[in-house]
């Protein structure tokens, strides 16, 4: 019961924090597609990882019973998403140096952003100067948060799998013990029945023997 509560709580947090990443990064992708520009890797990787992670979290949240019985697999996939989120956040690490309240075209982080500088130089309203900086920083922070969340859910699923394995071993041990005792009790009753003399047959043998003696 505790596993269900904690697992659902962390899954809900993951969904709530992954959906904003999808929305904000899709805003960037739309702007790049509109200007016929290639979307940078630091946006595209985090967007793909967040989309797949949302699908996975929703599936495991609403199919709890199946996820509970396959806890080792759930833990493995969560660890895979943990690694993917770390890689995606690492691609976006340059945004930590940015000052979103004072953005200039000569800033180092803006030059590393690649095509974002080109879009800004063209005066595109969809990607302003301050807004993309704040959006990227928010996505960076949410990506780190989700990496921590997926670590927690992976540990919870792994612990739950160990608990289920112990319960299964205990159940098998109890079942085997009851089976052995039942067989032993049946075997003991059969041996006692076989060793007990049959009074009717013994009486019939004695009566036939007495008749033979009387005839002689």
What confidence score (pLDDT) does residue 126 get? 41
Q: Does residue 113 surpass a pLDDT of 80?
A: no
Terminal-residue alpha carbon distance, the chain? 87
Q: Does residue 14 surpass a pLDDT of 90?
A: yes
Average pLDDT over residues 108-116: 66
The answer to whether the beta carbons of residues 43 and 28 sit under 8 Å apart is yes
Helix, strand, coil abundance in the chain, percent, nearest 5:
85, 0, 15
Q: How far apart are CA 208 and CA 103, in angstroms?
A: 122
DSSP 92: T
Task: Provide CB contacts within 8 A for 121, sequence distance 6+.
Answer: 105
Task: For residue 136, give the nearest of 34, 12, 42, 38 by alpha carbon.
Answer: 42
123 Rama sector, left if φ>0, alpha if ψ -120 to 50, beta otherwise: left
What confidence score (pLDDT) does residue 164 get? 46
Q: Dihedral, CA atoms, 177, 179, 182, 184, nearest 10 degrees?
A: -70
Other Cβ atoms within 10 Å of 61 Cβ, number? 16
What confidence score (pLDDT) does residue 71 get? 78
The answer to whether the beta carbons of residues 85 and 150 sit under 8 Å apart is yes
Task: Give the sign of the dihedral formed by CA 28, CA 30, CA 35, CA 41.
Answer: positive
What confidence score (pLDDT) does residue 165 get? 45
The answer to whether the beta carbons of residues 17 and 149 sit under 8 Å apart is yes
Residue 125 pLDDT grade (very low, low, confident, very high; cuts 50, 70, 90): very low
What confidence score (pLDDT) does residue 84 get? 96
| pLDDT tens sequence across 133-179 | 888 899 999 999 999 999 999 988 878 644 444 445 445 544 555 55
Q: How far apart are CA 6 and CA 99, in angstroms?
A: 37
What confidence score (pLDDT) does residue 31 get? 79
Compute the mean pLDDT over every residue in the chain, rounded to the nearest whole number. Answer: 74
Residue 78 pLDDT grade (very low, low, confident, very high; cuts 50, 70, 90): very high
């Amino acid at each position: 019961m505790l596993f269900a509560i904690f697992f659902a709580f962390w899954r809900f947090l993951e969904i709530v924090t992954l959906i904003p990443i999808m929305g904000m990064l899709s805003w960037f992708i739309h702007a790049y597609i509109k200007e016929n520009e290639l979307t940078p890797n630091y946006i595209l990787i985090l967007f793909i990882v967040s989309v797949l992670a949302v699908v996975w979290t929703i599936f495991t949240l609403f199919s709890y019973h199946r996820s509970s019985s396959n806890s080792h697999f759930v833990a493995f996939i969560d660890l895979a998403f943990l690694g993917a989120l770390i890689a995606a956040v690492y691609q976006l690490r340059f945004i930590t140096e940015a000052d979103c309240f004072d953005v200039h075209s000569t800033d180092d982080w803006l030059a590393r952003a690649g095509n974002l500088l080109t879009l800004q130089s063209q005066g595109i309203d969809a990607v302003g100067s301050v807004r993309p900086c704040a959006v990227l920083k928010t996505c960076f922070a949410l990506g780190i948060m989700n990496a921590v969340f997926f670590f927690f859910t992976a540990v919870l699923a792994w612990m739950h799998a160990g608990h289920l394995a112990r319960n299964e071993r205990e159940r098998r041990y109890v079942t085997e013990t009851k089976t052995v005792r039942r067989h032993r009790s049946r075997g003991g009753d059969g041996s006692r029945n076989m060793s007990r003399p049959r009074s009717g047959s013994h009486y019939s043998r004695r009566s036939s023997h007495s008749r033979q003696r009387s005839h002689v």
